[in-house]
Structure 1
């Protein structure tokens, strides 16, 4: 489905489950090294690098948060998001690729003095799993933008995926 550099080794964990995907010649070598290991043991193995941690929100604790004062907030969905691709500096939040296999689905962004200063964006990695990315310009960090944008975007995603 996605282009992979060969050889490849990919490891995903969720809860107590671990899934390993690899080229067949690599899999035969790493399988004995990974069997019966904990998630923590696997990710400190000397041949595993470049890993990223992702979190699944606790729906019972997730709540809408007030947006910080002094900023204006906007939402874009679907192809409307492509307008934001003209603005550089938010590579963690949006794909900058209209043909990306994991498309940007919804974003919420903050403006200050008619300038975009923060973007939280969600891409659909699968029908059930979406990913949120966030970028805030350096001079606007530590102003509660990240917490508000990500929490509110997570709620918006839940509402899209599981309408009441």
Structure 2
């Protein structure tokens, strides 16, 4: 799979999630579409959404509830693309949605593998390929980034690092949609800074590609450790997303 094919598949999935066309992400002008339920969307998305902004760098595609079209259009046309995803401009969007009892909630950067630099590195620990049945006893706090207890059936593949028979690091992926699997990784504190995370992430990315799927990686902009691991493993920034959710949902997350 080439980088161009990987990017095309990612844009096609983003188009499903946002209810737009893949080519909308490469236009120079912004695009507003209406959010709707899609059976082939990423499985953790709760569609339709009041406001979901997506940018691959050249413009913003805003997937919105019809009643919020004017509000969002005013916002994305007023500020440059990159500033629409950060403060202080972001306060304008948040304040505008507050009257509807909605708030800016999720903000994240997404990475795709660069097959020109993606490679299998090795660390000083044994590496094993794991599948869904191997995860059953691993839904604990140590592996909460690699695995998702709420969607266990989607955790399809992993790569573990072992000291003797002790699991000390785990990268695993969830089948969030038909063509793309999302990678998460955890390493026990005493084994960090030894190249374990990048070794596991790179190995898992190749295993995913071997199965004909596109691996992707997500983290917050402020999660420097995670972003560095993505880069070190051969991933590169591809797109960003911002999602508005009900105030009650946001407040629950802040408890």
Q: What pairs with 1:1-164 in structure 2 (closer than 5 Å)?
A: 2=44, 4=46, 8-16=50-58, 18-35=60-77, 38-44=80-86, 45-46=90-91, 47=94, 48=104, 50-66=106-122, 68-69=123-124, 71-85=125-139, 87-98=140-151, 103-161=154-212
Number of corresponding residues: 157
Change in CA separation of 1:38 and 1:81 when aligned onto 2, cut-off 3 Å = farther
Which has a greater percent of helix? Answer: 2
CA shift digits 1:83-137 (9 cap, x unpaired): 422x43211111123556xx11211111224322211111122222221111111
Unpaired segments of 5 or more residues in structure 2?
1-38, 95-103, 214-255
Q: In the aligned structure 2, how far is the partner of 1:138 from the partner of 1:53? A: 24
Q: In the aligned structure 1, how far is the partner of 2:201 from the partner of 2:161? A: 12
Change in CA separation of 1:33 and 1:15 when aligned onto 2, cut-off 3 Å = closer
Unpaired segments of 5 or more residues in structure 1?
none
CA shift digits 1:11-54 (9 cap, x unpaired): 22235353322333333311221148554122122235531111
CA shift digits 1:132-161 (9 cap, x unpaired): 111111111101001111111111111111
Change in CA separation of 1:99 and 1:143 when aligned onto 2, cut-off 3 Å = closer
**SS across alignment from 2:129:** strand
Which of 13-22 and 128-137 deviates more?
Answer: 13-22
TM-score, normalised to structure 1's length?
0.79
| RMSD between aligned residues | 2.7
**SS across alignment from 1:21:** strand
Preserved CA contact (<8 Å) 1:10 1:22: yes
Preserved CA contact (<8 Å) 2:62 2:72: no
Preserved CA contact (<8 Å) 1:122 1:130: yes
